[in-house]
Structure 1
Amino acid sequence: MTHPLRSRGFRLLFIGRTISSVGDAVVPAALAIAVTRATGSAAALATVLGCAMLPRLVLLPIGGVAADRWDARRVALTTDLVRCLCQLLIGLDLLGSRPSMVQLALASAVGGAASAFAMPTRLPLVAGTVDEAGRLTANALTGSATSLIQLCGPAVAGALIYGVGAGWAFVLDAASFLVSAVLLTRVRVRRTPVARRTVLADLAEGWAEVRSRDWYWSSLVAHSVWNGAAAVLATLGPLVAARRLGGDGAWLATLEAGAVGLTVGSLLAGRLTPRRPVLVGNLVLATYALPLVLLALTAPVPLLVTGYAVAMGSLGFLNPVWQTAVQQHIPAAVLARVSSYDWLLSLAATPVGYALTPVAAAAWGDSAPLLIAAVLVAGCCLGTAAVPGVRRISTGAAAGAAEHGGAGAAGVVAPAAPTGIGR
């Protein structure tokens, strides 16, 4: 097997994504600090974040149609340029003396809309630049690089914010999108022509492909529950750490351990080839119940740190394994549309978790929502083993026959692992 990095197309794509990830890793912290400094209001920050999330959720299925109907490379290139402009405008606004919340919200909305068209292109771009035998390695390389960058992101963000100002973090992100766009102009991607029909017909065809595969839709349910559980942990984790585990340092150590675990899991995925990738990936994903239970029981910090590292390592392993299975078993002509539904369900679960967690904690205490989330994520992830298609999907030459043993599938990211999982 030829290593994916020996392919010029994937090499340019990998470099562009890696550079773009550098900018993306520093922006969340920079945005939070910049908006709270300017307004002193959590509601203002929530408004800006909501302006980015809403168009992303609404337009994701349309983004999948666009990526399938037109060249995924051109769609990705266009969205990189749009996001470059949006981040540059935000950066320049923050560098001024009085940032405009209206401008920040508008730029965030346009950037969110652009990301809805960009995310479904990720799986087709890899599938179109790497032969089938090298896709697991390619997906694992991309996941490992992104994980390493996320590990360093908060430190880079802090240096920029306190050294030269939060606006420069957005300027850096704009530059990373520009570099990615330039590199995409040099990439050649194989694509499958798609018959031109109405947008509604294209959306219906994509959903029919999802619904016809029991292994796919059942896994999406489990992955969506995972994202909701992650929102529960993200909401209550800092609070429980500050009140019962000795302070913020305990939570920061937990997050750092998770970033390390994510990286290690991605690296392992590139070296291991499970015969039943979807089954194994979903089973290991159930380990996310560990940190939820440990936090609910106020376990010692070393145990919590270890549990979270294991859980995130499982996610790091699942993502490239799932992406590769999807690229292998979903027809190329509908890959972006199917991927967009993956992203949509995963992203939609996160705000639901954020909204319900404070209500549940106020009614029953902090431990109850954590334990409920643990039961749900473990039950749903382990429960996929009861689905025939999940058990039958395999790697290698037998893959096609295995899939057809499922729920009447006709033909195969988020996130593999849920294209949107953990994002």
Structure 2
Amino acid sequence: MPSQPARRPRFPWAGRNYRIQTAATVISGLGNAGAPIATAFAVMDSGGSTTEVGYVTAARLVPVVLLLMVGGALADRLPRHHVMVAANLFNALSQAVLAALVLSGHVQLWQLMLLSAAGGAGHAFYAPASEGMIMQSVSTEHAGRAFSVFRMALNSAQIGGMALGGALTAAVGPGWVLALDAGCFLVAACLRFLLEAEAAPTAGAGPGMLRDLREGWQEFASRRWLWVIVLQFAVLMACITAVDAVYGPIVAKEQLGGAGDWGLALAAHGIGLVVTGLVMVRWQPRRILLVGNYGVFLFGLPALALAVAAPLPVLVAVMFLSGAGVTVFGVNWMIALQQEIPAEMFSRVSAYDQLGSLSLAPVGTALAGPAADALGLSGALWACAVLCLLLSAVVLLEPQVRQLSRRAARPAEAAVPTGTEATAVR
């Protein structure tokens, strides 16, 4: 009898490593998105002030900034799934200890700060390995679809996690939300233990980690399109953090309907993130960074709407558009990194990218109040909006940003079986 032709997989871009990593990211994202809400209420329930909430938040951020580069170098020296499993287990333990202390009713500020710092340290090792793994698990041929679906899953988990975290914190208290986060990290670690090892890293053959970091910096600095956009985002993230964390809630309280209206605006931003992911599954623009930066032009719209005291429907609409812009940029940025950066450098370049992009975010939050005092609330918002729009235009003066184009998959790459996506590197 004639042999039956092999059935073509329904989703040829979703290999085993991709499916496991996406599922684990959703699970850990659901728990981790609610943890900051629970931690903030844990501080306040223990008698802490708003300033002390800021201290605990900063305690988590500082280790991320200090250890990202070490995490990136380690993830390029060792199998990335081993680094992720270890980081997830460490985060599960730190969150379990924090949950136990909060549930005991005797948690102190220094304990909250120390365990928040432990969570930030775990993230610093996890994040570069995670981005390297997801980029290496997808071939260039299917990168647009795969990264769009991954970001939809990630954004949906974060939106759902924030809603679930807020509701559970109100219903059963912050300690149980932190315990749930610890459980999510544990489940994610178990899933990531099942990932297939990617091709052996070449960085481990070098004489030391400092050499690895130097090579990663050379790779990062040699590409103008890369460091120009990271510099752009260093300032953008400072402005966006100030608008989202400080100015938005103030305007909502003074001029709109309070926290409920601001929550509705944030929900619209989240819907924009997810809905645009569906569009990006099919839309494959040729000039990936040019189109991605068009999305960045939308980042300044919320500050502009808040500056002119726009009514709630207008604010909701522009928050939706800003979320759409984030996804348009994010998907195209991941495609550019996966296409242009050697696989053995993924995690180190990702670490430099994240470090540069986040470097001024604490400064933006710290200076938000003084800027509003000096310029007025409306003036500070106008400054954020103008900076966002101006930087989006200035970046387009760089030819590499305008001209970097999507490449077709190489024949050898397109032929990789979907079950062995761990070898489907650039």
Q: TM-score, length-normalised on structure 1?
A: 0.90
Q: Does 1:343 align with 2:354?
A: yes
The aligned residue for residue 391 of structure 2 is: 380
Tell whether the 8 Å contact from 2:64 to 2:124 is kept in structure 1 after alignment.
yes
Name the counterpart of 1:193: 202
Change (3 A) 1:22 1:122: same
1:177 matched to 2:185? The reply is yes
Which of the two has higher C-alpha Rg? 2
* Structure 1 letter corresponding to 2:212: D
> Which residue number corresponds to residue 419 of structure 1?
none
Name 2:261's counterpart in structure 1: 250
Match of 2:217 in 1: 207
Change (3 A) 1:7 1:398: closer
The letter for the 2-side match of 1:151 is: I
| Secondary structure of the corresponding residue to residue 61 of structure 1 | helix
1:389, distance to aligned residue in structure 2 (A): 0.9
Aligned equivalents of 1:127 and 1:152: distance in 2? Answer: 25
Cα shift at 1:302: 1.1
TM-score (norm 2): 0.90
Residue 345 (structure 2) aligns with: 334
Shift of 1:5: 6.4
Task: Read off the aligned partner of 1:208 and give its amino acid letter.
Answer: Q
What residue in structure 1 maps to residue 378 of structure 2?
367
Q: Which contiguous aligned blocks of 4+ residues in structure 1 show a shift greater than 3 angstroms?
A: none
Is the 1:265–1:315 contact (alpha carbons within 8 Å) kept by the matching residues of 2? no
**Alpha-carbon distance between aligned partners in 2 of 1:163 and 1:183, rounded to the nearest angstrom:** 29
Query: Would the aligned equivalents of 1:4 and 1:11 in 2 still touch at CA under 8 Å?
Result: no
Equivalenced residue count is 399
Task: State the structure with bigger RCO (CA 8 A, min sep 6), 1 or 2.
Answer: 2
SS at match of 2:359: helix
In the other structure, the counterpart of 1:105 is 113
Offset of 1:28 from its aligned partner? 1.4
The partner residue of 2:238 within 214, 228, 236 is: 228
Same amino acid, percent of matched pairs: 35
Paired AA for residue 109 in structure 1? A
Q: Note the 1:124-143 alignment, pairs <5 A.
A: 124-143=132-151
Corresponding position: 1:265 with 2:262:
no
Structure 1 gap segments, 5+ residues each: 400-423
In 2, Cα distance between equivalents of 1:126 and 1:299? 40
Which aligned pairs between 1:275-294 and structure 2 lie closer than 5 A?
275-294=286-305
Take 1:386 and 1:244, find their aligned partners in 2: how far apart are those partners? 38
Question: Take 2:134 and 2:18, find their aligned partners in 1: how far apart are those partners?
Answer: 7
Task: Indicate the SS of the match to 2:46.
Answer: helix
Match of 2:163 in 1: 155
Deviation for aligned residue 1:217: 0.8
- What is the SS of the residue equivalent to 2:396? helix
Return the offset for 1:131: 2.0
2:4 match:
none
Distance 1:40 1:165 in 2: 16
RMSD of the alignment, in Å? 1.8
Letter in 2 for 1:368: G
2:87 is aligned to: 79
CA distance in structure 2 between the aligned counterparts of 1:277 and 1:380, rounded to whole angstroms: 18
Q: For the residues of structure 2 that align with 1:211 and 1:87, how far apart are their CA atoms? A: 37
Deviates most, 144-153 or 213-222: 144-153
